[in-house]
Amino acid sequence: MLDDADLYLLIPLFLTVAAMMKWIHWYFKTPPSPLFVSFIAIIAVLYFTVKILRVKKRILTLRQGREGEKAVGQYLERLRENVSKYFTILLPKVLIWIM
């Protein structure tokens, strides 16, 4: 997952690159060409698609773990209730039998 610092670095970098491109077009008096920006956009889309798929896989794994923890907790709670019933029923009988 991306850290917060990555976002804080990415936005100013993007704005700086956009400003530099405007200054280059102004200084050299050339018309803007969409090829460079399109190339960068394609690379960014591919890169972030891979990142999103990895994050999605991690989220699914975490959800499965959470559901498993919930199921185990419910099972242990039922087990505790059953054991405490038998323990309270059998303990006095066992103590009488021992003494």
pLDDT in the model for residue 4: 61
Domain match, 71 and 89 both:
yes
Answer whether 32's CB lies under 8 Å from 25's CB.
Answer: yes
Answer whether 1's CB lies under 8 Å from 55's CB.
Answer: yes
Per-10-residue mean pLDDT for the chain, 99 residues long? Answer: 66 87 87 81 88 87 93 87 69 61
Identify residue 96 by its one-letter amino acid code. Answer: I
Q: Which residue has the tokens 């919930």?
A: 70
pLDDT in the model for residue 66: 93
Domain match, 17 and 60 both:
no
Domain match, 62 and 90 both:
yes
Q: What is the extent of the structural domain holding 25?
A: 1-32
Residue 36: partners with Cβ closer than 8 Å, 6 or more residues away: 21
Domain match, 98 and 55 both:
yes
